[in-house]
Structure 1
Amino acid sequence: MFQTFDVTARPEQGPPRLAALREEMAGEGLDGFLIPRADAHQGEYVAPHDERLAWLTGFTGSAGFCVALTDVAGVFVDGRYRTQVKAQVADVYTPVPWPDVSLTAWLKEKLPQGGRVGFDPWLHAAGQIRSATKELKGSGIELVRCANLVDRIWPDQPAPPMEPVKAHPLEFAGESAEGKIGRLSAELKAAGNRAAVITLPDSIMWLLNIRGSDIARNPVAHGFAILHDDGRVDLFMASKKLEGLGDHLGPRVTRHEPARFLEALEALAGPVQADLATVPQIVADVLGDRLADGGDPCALPKARKNPAEIAGTAEAHLRDAAAMVELLCWLDAQPPGSLTETQVVSRLEACRRKDNALQDISFETIAGTGPNGAIMHYRVTEETDSRLENGHLLVLDSGGQYLDGTTDITRTIAIGAVGDEEKASFTRVLRGMIAMSMLRWPVGLAGRDIECVARVPLWRAGQDFNHGVGHGVGAYLSVHEGPQRLSRVSHVPFEPGMILSNEPGYYREGAFGIRIENLLVVQEAPPLPGGDPERAMLCWRTLTFVPIDRRLIVTDMLTREERDWLNTYHHDVAEKVGPRLGTDARLWLDAATAPI
């Protein structure tokens, strides 16, 4: 089972660790060093062995990086973490709003005379280094490949994970590994590529119908793979992880120790397809002009869930909804001030654990009450654990990893008597969530084309939020899955079978936070009377069925269409989830889903 380690720097540890890093920089003749929150596989989440950013700076967000120079050290974070970073890092670090301020612009400002900035080529994607090098041209600033300097100064760095891998049942995968390999290798050959390099853990898991536990809350194992155009796969993964999987992997898959990966790359005939956005720079260095930027061959096939994956995910959501309703019923019975955030987290996990199909929660539960709810990716600790007081809003964002699917749901819950401003903001967020849920759109549109639909009610009130509207979700895989997103920067067109979250929010720093999240699956939209029969359209099917807190809704702010949607949704919640509940929770659910 995955082991946890507390590797995060406390504020008092930040200065000596930064000083030690600068000594190593001086020894290497460097003016700077880049510390990403990434490992060699470029997944979103990392094992304790790879938590270099948290160990050095104290920042624990799931995205960001540090640039340590001789006289300043910037911690670059996006809008989700700008409140969090200020509370976590020591004053020797300077928070930098990213991507508003780019890495290269910051380096040019801080190193006007030029300089040598080191980086570990295993930990940075080839596309990142290519773009940064181009942007730094003429500045006198050089990006220099070097050993990892943080590893040199980290005396008790945890060992790399070596957790066992297991086969993922065909009944949940919906397609055999042999079928996937054959299909993707044929596409590879048709594109004129001899092989493809796969480094993302969830892509390897999906392709071979296996699951691991190298990363907390994510059923993935670390490794590399090479898919060949003749239907063979070379898998580079520690043999200790693969014991007993010979029959499952079959004759198409040849196993190797990870240390042989670069040697195998050297022997490949080109062109070799890879995703420059995720493949490590060292892979590009070895392949040279044989490298072809064709993307991860598993990315889109994995995103387009097959009928078995959709059916499994839908069923997992109904069981997960029953656990959520049991929690909400219990929570509603507790008087304000009687509970803390950690008690809510523990109770919710206990409700989910009643389901034998649950393998783990899908991420660390967010339970932020009052001002803590304004921290978008808040994680409760002993120091921050707060009581749910009268007038608070509780943001509860959680999910489960089930054998048949992955869930992710957020509900904002009233604790006692809540103010009018909070209710009005909640209703605007709800209206945005409903607008996205009801949307129909032409085939070919991407997240950047439609995500604003969920923001319009907030925009009209001069409000907004600093995160995307939604992310892709795996099928018993990573809770954050690309390439599709409901985001201003996503260019990937939506296709039937893609699962995404729909989670607008609003956050008032120091006061309260609001987020409402359902998961949706893309499907073909049925024709409408008077519609253009030649114009294909898509729409959403809702997967999440948990009541939305009616006490926070300003009914007069809703249109008739929005009320009808909410009442229909709540009717479906009661019908689908009610029979799965005990008596008390069923009675609570009947009241919570009454029409407005």
Structure 2
Amino acid sequence: MDSIAVIRNFMVENGLCYLLVNSTNEFLVEYNTLEENSRYKLTGFSGSTGEALVTPDKIYLFVDGRYHIQADNEVDHEKVTVVKLQTGQKYLDELVNLIPENENLGIFAKKNSQKKYEILSKKRQIKLLKFDPIDSKNIPNYEDKNVKIDIKYTGLSVDEKISKISSKLSENEAFYVTDLDEVSYLFNMRNFSQKFSAKIRAKALIFKDKFELFTQGNLSKLEQILKEINKKVYVDKNSINAYDFELLKNKACEIKENPIAEMKAQKNDAELSHLIDAFNRTDKAVSATRDYIYENDNLSEYDIAKYLEDQFKAQGAIGLSFNSIVAKDKNSALAHYSKSSKDEIVKDGSLVLIDCGGYFEGGLATDITRVFVKGEPSNLHKKIYTTVLKAFLNAYNYAKIHLKRPLIGYDVAKSAHEFFDSQDVDGFVFNHGLGHGIGINVHEYPPNLSIGELAKVEIKNGMCFSIEPGLYREGYFGVRLENSCYFKDNDIHSFVHMNYEKKLIDFEMLTEQEKLWLENFEVK
């Protein structure tokens, strides 16, 4: 029986007309394996994010601007309707609009955060479901691959980190840590056995005078402990799933600001030093790949992606921080194109976009995007590339132009959108956020640079983030230029120092200030 039939039978058995099917697992991870991704099994869409709503007669797939084209290419449109969310549009609002007020919506308790459950409960009748019928039954145990990260990379010991939390607790209080990034950070541990991930699969309880770490081997004990615990338990409703929250019942107490998320986001000098070194090696891997493209003919996207991965390994990378994007010509218009093809051959005049990153011994992700052209670029290549470069230079120097503090990610992103709106871009569009936080996961929060509510927070000292403006046009090509940066000493600094492609820059389009910014960047 296929996944659609299994889901529809499950809905009948549970008296449901509407069901939300997720891409994540019980740890609410962003980058889930396809084996554990029920939304992929249901729709065939392999993107990292995007949820599906099953109705009595349709399946709706909600995707943001990064995945509009990819979703269209991957789903069976006779079975799945793609809902293309626009910038600033919230998928939960669109989902609720498809459900009549008197109908209930089923959601899987282990695959939805308590925060999402509460938001939906205010709008429709929600039925919490204990299990997902198309979930993976045999999840590998990765516990024996957990590794400790040396303090020279972390800057703080496990005891030092945990004491910052436990010192604020009374004897009658505990902190339940459910976010995998936060657990990995607190315990200075990583696990590289899963592709594109460095996180350990674990949860933790922190008390006034002790802590307990629950890895895959003893996670089964946690359910009973949560039921029986006789303390006020602080939780982050954004990262605890609704199932665990229900186990705690009235013992759970929401924290308004997560202290671990703030600690993790504000990198110390040891972490920044490691990232500077890791990005230097990332630059070298991408530079070598650029030369490989320019010096060899008839390379496929697959050839380039394989060579790129080999260059990361040569630089000492333990693994890639996400599935590298190597996209030529019209494929580069897919912001998260991820299936580098053996049939897509780079010819003279081909544009190639590379978005990649790696994990090195310190266990923090790198992320960079560059665009190259084999041979001579077209005038349109140069116009779009230069427009994106201008957007990057203005965003990167935003803190110098605007001295008002605090620095807010929303404001930086808004200025980039306003810049693109003022340009003649020949039908190309900027349809994603300006940037994301970077840490153990290649996407970390805080900070965030977008025009959404999440970005209305301060970018604080030591926070690391990408600046990645882009322009895309389906059937043509896409250009995205991404530098990962950090905020320190009241200014934005770049981890990435790989130069831009001179032959793709129309210098007549640059202002004198932009030329100076570009010169200063390349001198560094």
Q: TM-score range by the shorter chain?
A: over 0.9
**2:376 paired residue among 417, 432, 440:** 417
1:15-34 aligned at under 5 Å gives the runs 16-34=2-20
The alpha-carbon deviation at position 258 of structure 1 amounts to 0.7
The alpha-carbon deviation at position 232 of structure 1 amounts to 1.8
The alpha-carbon deviation at position 193 of structure 1 amounts to 7.9
Matching of residue 129 in structure 1 with residue 104 in structure 2: no
Counterpart residue type for residue 80 of structure 1: R
CA distance in 1, matches of 2:352, 2:161: 43
Partners of 2:96 and 2:123 within 8 A in 1: no
Structure 1 residues without counterparts, runs of 5 or longer: 1-12, 137-141, 240-256, 525-537, 573-596
1:142-541 aligned at under 5 Å gives the runs 142-151=125-134, 158-163=138-143, 164-189=145-170, 194-213=173-192, 215-228=194-207, 230-239=208-217, 257-294=218-255, 295-335=257-297, 338-356=298-316, 358-382=317-341, 385-404=343-362, 405-440=364-399, 441-463=403-425, 464-474=429-439, 477-489=440-452, 490-524=455-489, 538-541=490-493
Partners of 2:329 and 2:476 within 8 A in 1: yes
The alpha-carbon deviation at position 456 of structure 1 amounts to 3.9
Counterpart residue type for residue 281 of structure 2: R
Partners of 1:429 and 1:457 within 8 A in 2: no
What is aligned with 1:80? 66
1:549-560 aligned at under 5 Å gives the runs 549-560=501-512
Aligned in 2, Cα 1:434/1:104: closer, same or farther, shift over 3 Å? closer
CA distance in 1, matches of 2:155, 2:190: 15
Counterpart residue type for residue 148 of structure 1: F
CA distance in 2, matches of 1:118, 1:400: 38
**2:517 paired residue among 555, 561, 565:** 565
Counterpart residue type for residue 287 of structure 1: L
SS of the aligned residue for 1:202 comes to: helix
CA distance in 1, matches of 2:48, 2:512: 40
CA distance in 2, matches of 1:233, 1:269: 15
CA distance in 2, matches of 1:451, 1:74: 29
The alpha-carbon deviation at position 331 of structure 1 amounts to 1.5
Counterpart residue type for residue 544 of structure 1: V
SS of the aligned residue for 1:151 comes to: coil
The alpha-carbon deviation at position 520 of structure 1 amounts to 0.8
Counterpart residue type for residue 89 of structure 2: D
Counterpart residue type for residue 129 of structure 2: C
Partners of 1:320 and 1:352 within 8 A in 2: yes
SS of the aligned residue for 2:72 comes to: helix
Aligned in 2, Cα 1:231/1:469: closer, same or farther, shift over 3 Å? farther
The alpha-carbon deviation at position 488 of structure 1 amounts to 1.4
The Cα offsets for residues 78-110 of structure 1, whole Å up to 9 and x where unpaired, read as 11111111111112011113473644554444x
SS of the aligned residue for 1:302 comes to: helix
The alpha-carbon deviation at position 310 of structure 1 amounts to 0.4
CA distance in 2, matches of 1:65, 1:291: 27
SS of the aligned residue for 2:10 comes to: helix
The alpha-carbon deviation at position 167 of structure 1 amounts to 0.8
Partners of 1:182 and 1:231 within 8 A in 2: no
Counterpart residue type for residue 353 of structure 1: K
CA distance in 1, matches of 2:165, 2:100: 48
TM-score by structure 2 length?
A: 0.92
Structure 2 residues without counterparts, runs of 5 or longer: none
The alpha-carbon deviation at position 19 of structure 1 amounts to 2.3
Bigger shift: residues 498-507 or 35-44: 35-44
Aligned in 2, Cα 1:457/1:43: closer, same or farther, shift over 3 Å? same
Counterpart residue type for residue 213 of structure 2: L
The alpha-carbon deviation at position 462 of structure 1 amounts to 5.0
The alpha-carbon deviation at position 438 of structure 1 amounts to 1.6
TM-score by structure 1 length?
A: 0.81
Partners of 1:428 and 1:457 within 8 A in 2: no
Partners of 1:18 and 1:56 within 8 A in 2: yes
The alpha-carbon deviation at position 353 of structure 1 amounts to 1.2
Partners of 2:34 and 2:40 within 8 A in 1: no
**Whose radius of gyration is greater, 1 or 2?**
1
What is aligned with 1:57? 43
What is aligned with 1:586? none
Counterpart residue type for residue 237 of structure 2: L
Partners of 1:52 and 1:150 within 8 A in 2: no
Aligned in 2, Cα 1:437/1:271: closer, same or farther, shift over 3 Å? same
Tell me the percent identity. 26
Partners of 1:319 and 1:355 within 8 A in 2: yes
**2:82 paired residue among 88, 95, 101:** 95
Superposition misfits of 4+ residues, deviation over 6 angstroms: none
CA distance in 1, matches of 2:160, 2:90: 45
The alpha-carbon deviation at position 333 of structure 1 amounts to 1.5
Counterpart residue type for residue 346 of structure 1: K
